[in-house]
Amino acid sequence: MFIGLFQPHHIILLKLPLLRFPYSMEFSQTIATRHTFVKKSAIDSGGMKARLSRIVLVFLCVGVLPVLSDEPQLFRFLFVDGEEYRILSVVEQDVFINERFSHSAEILNRIAVRVAYLGEGIGRLHVSYDVSEENMQPNEVFQLSRSFETEYRQNELGFMDVPREFVRPMVRDVPVFPENPIAPGTAWSNSGTEVHDLTESFDIPERFEFRIPVVYQYLGVEERDGRVMDVLSVRYSMFHRFPRNLEGLHPVAISGFSNQRHYWDRLRGRVHAYEEEYEILYTMSTGDTISFRGTAEARVVETNLPDRSEVLQRLRERLEDLAIPDTEVRESERGITISLEDIQFPPESARLLPSELDKLDRIIELLAEYPDTDLLITGHTALAGTPEGRQRLSEERAAAVGNYLLDMGVRSRDQLIIRGVGAEEPVAPNTTEAGRRRNRRVEFTILQD
């Protein structure tokens, strides 16, 4: 089910600053970063099974081989109606312009999956993606940069049926399995699909799909996270030329490779974790090249989220017991939100004042009761200064609070994301000082999606 979700190699577009190239040319470039996740969607079982090419036996040495068992295994995606889980992936990437190092990026992808079983080995997956970038300095909190939703079907062999309106998942039909049981050392091949959307990066209102030849090998079994997993090698290369009628700055060709290692959870019928090494090279219409080289890893996080109504009631009681001033708790679209209003910072600063740390320490007591949940911290400002200044300040203040929570061990780094919204979501009129105090706030959302 993962493989659609883990999407071993997902390209996400991030705006680069203006880069100076030879020939005195400047342009706003976009970075593609890896996004990973997996799902189970369905496709008409009918012609898809026949697309698998013949199985051949090969014995390859790929790193350290897992323990081999002679017992052939039947690989099938399983879809449990009503199942929900999330996937966390971290991508570390270096970007090169004309083979010269430009910068590094670290990306956190949080994927929430909801499954419906449609019968006859077919599932429908509704998937939400939060893509977050490393905030400013190494080892700081991740900042939410964009969110997406998609829905598709997948059959038990792994073939996917994604409606035209969804760009994601950007890697499709990877992995897929033969109909027959597979013995360790067995290799097989099939075609997958890469989908590239150039709208955000090059203002080209088209998306391009091309096939990729994928080679698989069942390596055997290996213990991971206290369980025995089946291990798969998944490898493919890519090359595609874009249409010649594109105007302005645009890529003319894309090439690269992806080498992946999947850990298959036989009991749950999906990928439990994966590791990837990749390189993608864009050749631009100017003759310049942009190369993305990196590694990615992802894992399924299976958490039984607490009941919303129970959490809401519990937090209201605890807020009253702790007597934290200027706070309220409410149910929000994404979970349960604790709002800390009138949080004090020096003017135009994101430095936490000592007087505010006591409030945060008491908020931490509440959050520590739900350690397995992810947190979204949102910074808000009053209506003062410029929109750009308010946005920057709200992001910096959310990051200051997030880093304090990390320092206090409230959550691990991949459980916490921040965002700033400036003065775009007021809870009171900005025409009075009392209203502006309420709007200067930080919100803590216990995510339940």
Residues 363-416 pLDDT 10s: 999 999 998 889 999 999 999 889 999 999 999 999 999 999 999 999 998 899
pLDDT value of residue 303: 67
- Asked if residue 18 has pLDDT above 60, the reply is no
Which residues, at least 6 apart from 420, have a Cβ–Cβ distance to it below 8 Å?
378, 379, 380, 391, 392, 393, 394, 395, 396, 397, 398
CATH fold for domain 2-301: Lipovitellin-phosvitin complex; beta-sheet shell regions (2.30.230)
For the chain, the domains span 2-301, 308-447
pLDDT value of residue 75: 97
Per-residue pLDDT, averaged over 133-139, amounts to: 61
Tens digits of per-residue pLDDT, 224-280?
Answer: 988 899 999 999 999 999 998 888 888 999 999 999 999 999 999 999 999 999 999
DSSP track, 363-399: HHHHHTT-TTS-EEEEE---S-S-HHHHHHHHHHHHH
Instruction: Write down the pTM of the prediction.
Output: 0.80
The torsion defined by the Cα of 230, 122, 258 and 290, in degrees rounded to 10, comes to -150
Short-list 169, 242, 184, 187, CA closest to 57: 187
Tokens of 390: 């308010």
Q: How far apart are CA 412 and CA 414, in angstroms?
A: 6
Q: Which amino acid is at 432?
A: T
pLDDT value of residue 31: 30
Higher-confidence residue of 176 and 200: namely: 176
Q: How far apart are CA 350 and CA 401, in angstroms?
A: 9
The hierarchical CATH code for the domain 308-447 is: 3.30.1330.60
pLDDT value of residue 6: 60
Phi and psi for 24 in degrees, rounded to 5?
A: 55, 30
Short-list 332, 333, 338, 356, CA closest to 346: 356
pLDDT value of residue 199: 80
pLDDT value of residue 301: 87
Q: How far apart are CA 371 and CA 410, in angstroms?
A: 7
